[in-house]
Chains A and B, each alone.
Chain A
Amino acid sequence: MANNIMNWIDERFPLTSFVKHDLTDYPTPRNLSYWWNFGFLAGIVLVLQLITGIFLAMHYKADVAMSFDSIQHIMRDVNYGWLLRYMHATGASAFFFVIFTHMARTLYYGSYRAPRELLWWTGQGLLLLLMATAFMGYLLPWGQMSFWGATVITNLFKATPFIGDQVVIWLRGDYTVGDATLTRFFALHYLMPFVIVGAVVIHLVALHSVKSSNPSGIDLAAKDNIPFHPYFTIKDLYGLGIFLIVYSVFVFFMPNSLMEPANNIPANPMVTPNHIVPEWYFLPFYAILRSVPNMVGGVIAMGLSVMLFAFMPFLDRSRIPGGARYRPFYRLQFYLFLIDMVLLGWVGYVHPTDQTILIGQVATFVYFASFFFVPMISKMEESWLIKRGLPAEVMVLIDSEANEIAKKQLKKNQRNGVQS
């Protein structure tokens, strides 16, 4: 019976072959470390956010006169409303933590290299969508930090050439952040996660066409690939268990640790909090914004600081695979970059003084320098390492990649020759 139904479906829709090709038999490198668990975790957090968000939306009211109260209604009167809300608020932080780790893994192991550039760029698009969604969601509780954060950030669009003032009004729907802003942010905050789901599908299609990279960076022989199921289903479940434990510690035992006290005060356009800070996941970028004395310059620097990751496939000119694994300088650069990020986060959090502004400027310089020196350092490091000697299989891969490129070039030349 079940077989008959499956046959009936398969004649009309490639269900069995899809499940085989993309789930159960999907070939996966056996040497993936636990750093490769974070993509799956990001998918889970997305689903958690969608579910808790939809239930929250059933009780939330997007109206400046009611939204703060409606959050308290959720926290106090709705059955397990506090759980929904704490899961959703903590989930936002968890999402960024998971995505940042996922990105750090990609950078460390050089997973952005050819042929995975499109995979990396779809990921970059997902990061932007996630940031926009989180930013708009933060306005919804209509606390002091919600209001002033949205005011400060929408105000940055004044930097748009010629039509800056109009853009700001267009974004807010009013001259100041108000009811029009709240309702549109709510509408978009509900919409964007579904756009993200679509973008995730594209990300996965790209992944399944180029397949996972792996810690060695070397393309593995077929025998080193194992089917996704059961090996990685169980490994992902184990990772999920660990993740959920950490997540639950935050949700149940310290849910307020990631919330600003000022956001428990209803928004008041007449009173500016003495210290406006974004959520922790925006702090490094916020620090870069504040480090540039000129507003337009700051906005450009902040935008660049997020977008520069997309250029990594071009910036990294080393032909040595495996990212930091065989490359001591790149490894050093990677850790310096992480420390710099943390430093920037701290600068973004504290009340600015002359000293922290200076530290922020140095850290901003180091941030951009980390990217701009990648082409030079990667090339120099490559020739130094090749002179010093690399493992044979790495050299083989470099040669075979060079061959492939030469072959492609030849084909292209021939084609052009025929055409002209």
Chain B
Amino acid sequence: MNVFLKVALLCSLSVYAWGSEEKLDKVVVEKDLPSIERGAEALMNSCHSCHSLKYIKYRDLIAFGISKQKVDGWRGEQPLDTPLMAQMSEADAEQAFSTKPPDLSLMTKARDGDENYLYSYLLAYYTTAEGVVSNHIFPTTKMPDPLGMSGSPDAAQHAVIEGQARDIVSFLSWAADPHEAERLQLGKYIIGYLLVLTALFYLVKKQIWARLK
């Protein structure tokens, strides 16, 4: 390979590698409907009181395939086109936590470490020797431990919480990029098409240039 190309490749690869600096737990983001539905449910139970998902409407959940019955339970009297706004008003939240709980629609794409950050953050709660709840990843966070990691769970409870965190992350990953599945699918077709087209161009090129010799 040309040295030139190697340097260019090295450059782009290293740009990619610089992104993940911190030591974060790796999470396997699930893409299947049951995981995402469980994640939506966990989120509605544990996070929705404080956090909004303003770019997701109840209608989007149904369109994605989450059971209409569940969604109807969550939205109550609100029309289908209502975004998932937090149950607590912003003013109340600000008073309670002296900061605004951020919108979660884009959260898996808004921190270094993406999904891994979110997963690690949720599981990083612990109780210090002085009995104060703290967080390894974000020590000064004002968010109360939402999943109960600081309550020294036993192994079985621990596994349940991890599963919950993974489901929530999977749901939020979908919410941040709802067209991802469609994108990957279309991408395969496009690249397949381009490979065939490029191969044809190559053959035609060889044939045309052969006239010169």
- What residues of chain A have their CB less than 8 Å away from a CB belonging to chain B? 30, 35, 72, 75-76, 82-83, 86, 97, 101, 104, 108, 226, 230-231, 234-235, 237-238, 240-242, 244-245, 248-249, 251-253, 255-259, 261-262, 264-265, 280, 335, 338-339, 342, 345-346, 349-350
CA distance A335 to B109 in the complex (A): 36
B190 touches A256 (CB 8 A): no
A238 touches B202 (CB 8 A): yes
Q: Is B184 an interface residue, CB under 8 A from the partner?
A: yes
Of the candidates A30, A35, A242, the one whose C-beta lies within 8 Å of that of B198 is A242
Give every chain A residue within 8 A of B60 (Cβ-Cβ).
Answer: 76
Within 8 A of A (CB), among B1-22: 3-4, 7-8, 10-11, 14-16, 18-19
Given contacts A235-B205, A238-B205, A339-B7, contact A264 B191 (CB under 8 A): no
Given contacts A241-B201, A252-B184, contact A349 B15 (CB under 8 A): yes
CA distance A242 to B194 in the complex (A): 8
Which 7 interchain pairs have the tightest Cβ spacing? A252-B187, A241-B198, A264-B110, A238-B201, A264-B106, A234-B205, A264-B109
CA distance A256 to B177 in the complex (A): 10
Give every chain B residue within 8 A of A261 (Cβ-Cβ).
Answer: 109-112, 114
A342 touches B109 (CB 8 A): no
Interface centre among B176, B197, B205 (most CB of A within 10 A): B205
Give every chain A residue within 8 A of B14 (Cβ-Cβ).
Answer: 342, 346
CA distance A231 to B15 in the complex (A): 37
Given contacts A104-B4, A230-B208, A257-B16, contact A342 B191 (CB under 8 A): no
A345 touches B11 (CB 8 A): yes
CA distance A257 to B114 in the complex (A): 11
What are 7 A-B residue pairs whose CB atoms fall within 8 Å in the complex? A83-B186, A237-B201, A242-B198, A255-B183, A261-B109, A339-B7, A342-B10
CA distance A86 to B190 in the complex (A): 15
Give every chain B residue within 8 A of A342 (Cβ-Cβ).
Answer: 7, 10-11, 14
Interface string of B188-208 (1 = CB under 8 A from A): 101100110110011011001
Query: Other CB < 8 Å A-B pairs besides A245-B198, A265-B102, 13 of them?
Result: A76-B60, A101-B8, A234-B204, A245-B194, A257-B16, A259-B109, A261-B111, A264-B109, A264-B176, A338-B4, A339-B7, A346-B18, A349-B18
Minimal Cβ-Cβ distance residue in B for A280: B15
Q: Closest Cβ of chain A: how far from B194's Cβ, in Å?
A: 5
Q: Closest Cβ of chain B: how far from A267's Cβ, in Å?
A: 13
Q: Is B179 an interface residue, CB under 8 A from the partner?
A: yes
Interface string of B80-102 (1 = CB under 8 A from A): 00000000000000000000001
- What residues of chain B have their CB less than 8 Å away from a CB belonging to chain A? 3-4, 7-8, 10-11, 14-16, 18-19, 55, 60, 102, 105-106, 109-112, 114, 176-179, 183-184, 186-188, 190-191, 194-195, 197-198, 201-202, 204-205, 208-209, 212
Q: Closest Cβ of chain A: how far from B208's Cβ, in Å?
A: 5
Q: Closest Cβ of chain B: how far from A340's Cβ, in Å?
A: 11
Give every chain B residue within 8 A of A249 (Cβ-Cβ).
Answer: 187, 191
Give every chain A residue within 8 A of B187 (Cβ-Cβ).
Answer: 248-249, 251-253
CA distance A80 to B205 in the complex (A): 33
Q: Closest Cβ of chain B: how far from A259's Cβ, in Å?
A: 8
B208 touches A265 (CB 8 A): no
Q: Closest Cβ of chain A: how far from B132's Cβ, in Å?
A: 25
A231 touches B191 (CB 8 A): no
Give every chain A residue within 8 A of B212 (Cβ-Cβ).
Answer: 30, 226, 231
A75 touches B179 (CB 8 A): yes
A238 touches B8 (CB 8 A): no
CA distance A334 to B77 in the complex (A): 68
Give every chain B residue within 8 A of A237 (Cβ-Cβ).
Answer: 201, 205
CA distance A255 to B186 in the complex (A): 14
Minimal Cβ-Cβ distance residue in B for A244: B194
B201 touches A256 (CB 8 A): no
Give every chain B residue within 8 A of A256 (Cβ-Cβ).
Answer: 109, 114
Of the candidates A76, A226, A240, A335, the one whose C-beta lies within 8 Å of that of B3 is A335
Given contacts A76-B178, A248-B191, A261-B109, contact A82 B11 (CB under 8 A): no
CA distance A345 to B8 in the complex (A): 12
Q: Closest Cβ of chain A: how far from B201's Cβ, in Å?
A: 4
Give every chain B residue within 8 A of A251 (Cβ-Cβ).
Answer: 187
CA distance A264 to B55 in the complex (A): 13
Give every chain B residue within 8 A of A101 (Cβ-Cβ).
Answer: 8
B197 touches A241 (CB 8 A): yes
Give every chain B residue within 8 A of A248 (Cβ-Cβ).
Answer: 187, 190-191, 194
A262 touches B110 (CB 8 A): yes
Give every chain A residue within 8 A of B201 (Cβ-Cβ).
Answer: 234, 237-238, 240-241
Q: Closest Cβ of chain B: how far from A219's Cβ, in Å?
A: 20
B55 touches A76 (CB 8 A): yes
CA distance A265 to B4 in the complex (A): 37
B184 touches A253 (CB 8 A): yes
Given contacts A241-B194, A339-B7, A342-B11, contact A72 B179 (CB under 8 A): no
Give every chain B residue within 8 A of A72 (Cβ-Cβ).
Answer: 55, 105-106
Give every chain B residue within 8 A of A345 (Cβ-Cβ).
Answer: 11, 15
Give every chain A residue within 8 A of B106 (Cβ-Cβ).
Answer: 72, 264-265
Give every chain B residue within 8 A of A339 (Cβ-Cβ).
Answer: 7
Q: Closest Cβ of chain B: how far from A151's Cβ, in Å?
A: 19
Of the candidates B3, B19, B195, B205, the one whose C-beta lies within 8 Å of that of A245 is B195
Interface centre among A244, A259, A264 (most CB of B within 10 A): A264
Given contacts A234-B208, A245-B191, contact A82 B183 (CB under 8 A): yes
CA distance A24 to B18 in the complex (A): 47
CA distance A252 to B192 in the complex (A): 12
Give every chain B residue within 8 A of A335 (Cβ-Cβ).
Answer: 3, 7
Given contacts A252-B190, A346-B14, contact A231 B209 (CB under 8 A): yes
Q: Closest Cβ of chain B: how far from A323's Cβ, in Å?
A: 13
